[in-house]
Amino acid sequence: MLTNNQPKAIMIVIGNEVLSGRTKDRNIGWVAEKLNSIGINLIEARIIRDNQDVIISTIQELSKKVDYIFTSGGIGPTHDDITTVAIAKAFSIQVKKNKEALRRLEEHYKGTGIELNSARLKMADIPLGAKLIDNPVSAAPGFNVKNVYVMAGVPKIMQAMLDGVIKTIENGSKTISISIGCNIGEGNIAKGLEQIETLQKNIEIGCYPWFRAGLAGTNVVIRSMDKQ
pTM confidence score: 0.86
**Other CB atoms closer than 10 Å to residue 148's CB: what's the count?**
21
User: What is the arithmetic mean of pLDDT over 176-202?
Assistant: 88
Using CA atoms, how far residue 162 sits from 19, 93, 142, 150, 168, in Å, is 23, 23, 10, 10, 10
DSSP 3-state of 45:
strand
CA nearest to 91, candidates 51, 67, 138, 126:
126
Q: What average pLDDT does the segment 27-34 reach?
A: 95
pLDDT at 1 over 60: no
Of 167, 129, 122, the residue nearest 146 (C-alpha): 129
SS3 4: coil
* Mean pLDDT, the chain, whole residue set: 93
Residue 2: the pLDDT is 52
4 pLDDT band (50/70/90 cuts)? low
Closest CA to 148 of 85, 74, 89, 62: 62
Mean pLDDT of 54-63: 97
- Taking residue 60's Cβ as centre, other Cβ atoms within 10 Å add up to 12
Interval 113-146: pLDDT, tens: 999 999 999 999 999 999 999 999 999 999 999 9
Q: Indicate the pLDDT class of residue 173, thresholds 50, 70 and 90.
A: confident
- Check pLDDT > 70 for residue 3: no
Instruction: Enumerate residues 6+ apart whose C-beta is below 8 A from 111.
Output: none
